[in-house]
Amino acid sequence: MKIVIDARESGTSTGRYIDKLIENLHILKPEHEFVILTKSHRLDYVRQIAAEFTVVESNFKEFTFAEQLGFKKQIESLGADLVHFGMVQQPVLYRGRVVTTMHDLTTVRFKNPAKNPIVYGIKQQVYKWVNKRVAHKSQAILVATQYVKDDVVKFTGINPEKVTVTYESADPIMAAPESMPNLENKKFIMYLGRPTPHKNLERLVQAFAIIKKSHPDMFLVLAGKKDFNYNRIEKSVQKANINDVIFTDFISEGQLRWLYENTAAYVFPSLSEGFGLPGLEAMAHKSPVVSSNATCLPEVYRDAALYFDPLSVDDMAAKITEVIDSPALRQKLISAGTALLPHYSWRKMAEETLTVYEKTIV
C-alpha cells in the first residue's frame, strides 16, 4: 500500500514526534510504499533518516487557503491508500483514508497574548470546528496519552474505539555538554520550552521569589528562544524586582545537556500538556523533576516526579524547596526517572502506529 505522511512540522518542537515516527518506521522496513511530504529546508534531513522512503517537497503553510486547496491537490495527485496527518491542520475536504494525530486541545482552551485578541478569537473558533471535523472524518486518531484520548472523545463526541494511545519517548542528548559561563558553580532550577500562558511561567517566577527568601544564592533559568511572550515575562520580572532570573534565549543542544546535568531541579509548571516530553528528557540526564499535577503529567511521569498544584504558588515553591533541600529525595526521583524511561520507546510507538495503518487500510 502507498502511505503518505504529512511531515511539514518536521524540525519544530511538535515535529519531534513526526521525525521520530518516520525514522523508526524506516528501521522497521515495512512492506508498504512510504511518501513523506516536508518543507524544503527539511528535505535533506528526512532523506537522511529515511533513505528508502520517497521524500517530496511540500511548502504549504498551515492554516492557509493554500493548505486547503493546493496541499489537497498535491495529496490527491499521489494516489495514496492512506494519509497520516501528524497534526490537526490539514485539508478538511480531503476524502481519502486518513489517520490523524491529535496532540492535545490546549489551543482550543488558552489565549495567546502575542496575537491580536479579535483575530485569534476568530481563529480559535475555526480551530475548534477543525478539531471536531477532523476527528469525525478520520478513520483513526492517534494520541500520546490516555488523558488526551478521554479529552478528545469528550470534546468531539467520537467513538473511543477510533482513538489509539501511542506513547512518545525521549532520547538523551548526544552532543557534548557545553557549560554556560554565567551559571558555572552556581545553584539553579530550570524550565525549558515555550512561554505561552498555559506553560504557567508567571506562577513559576512568583514561586521562585518565595524560594529566594530561604535560598538567596539560587537562580531560575528559563531556557528557550525569546519571543513576545518571553519578553513580556522578562519585563514583569524586572518590574517586580525579582533578581537572578536568567532568560537564555536560544541555546545549543550541548548547553541544554549541561543545564539538565547541573540543575538542582527541572520544574514543569504547565497547566495543560499532551505528553510532557521535556520532563522525560530531563530524567534521561538524571535531573530530579518537580511537576504540575495537571492533565496528563502524572500519567506520564508516574512516581518519577514530585507533584504540585500548578494554581498554587505556595505549593509550587514548597515542593521545589523540598527537592532542592533533600539529597535523599533528589536521588529517589533521579532513580525513579531512570527506571521509568525504558517504559517509553519511539520504536514501540512506530510499531503501534504501523498496526493502526494496516488496520485502517484493510
Tens-digit pLDDT profile for residues 180-221: 989 999 999 999 999 999 999 999 999 999 999 999 999 999
Distance of CA 336 to CAs 5, 188, 213, 303, 330, Å?
35, 22, 30, 7, 10
Tens of pLDDT, residues 241-260: 999 999 999 999 999 999 99
Query: Domains in the chain: how many in total?
Result: 2
Is-contact 21 353, C-beta < 8 A? yes
Say whether both 242 and 352 belong to one domain. Answer: no
The pLDDT, as a whole number, for residue 14 is 85
266: closest CA among 188, 172, 181? 188
- Please say if the pLDDT value at position 119 is more than 90: no
For residue 123, the domain's CATH number is: 3.40.50.2000
pTM flag (> 0.85)? yes
Return mean pLDDT, the chain: 96
Span 133-141, average pLDDT: 98
The pLDDT, as a whole number, for residue 175 is 97
Say whether both 130 and 186 belong to one domain. Answer: no
Say whether both 306 and 215 belong to one domain. Answer: yes
Backbone angles phi, psi at 95, to 5 degrees: -105, 0
Task: Tell me which residue range forms the domain holding 20.
Answer: 2-169+345-361
Q: Which residues, at least 6 apart from 259, have a Cβ–Cβ distance to it below 8 Å? A: 180, 183, 190, 192, 221, 223, 251
Say whether both 208 and 337 belong to one domain. Answer: yes
SS3 call for 130 = helix
- Please say if the pLDDT value at position 350 is more than 90: yes
pLDDT band with cut points at 50, 70 and 90 for residue 327: very high
Is-contact 287 156, C-beta < 8 A? no
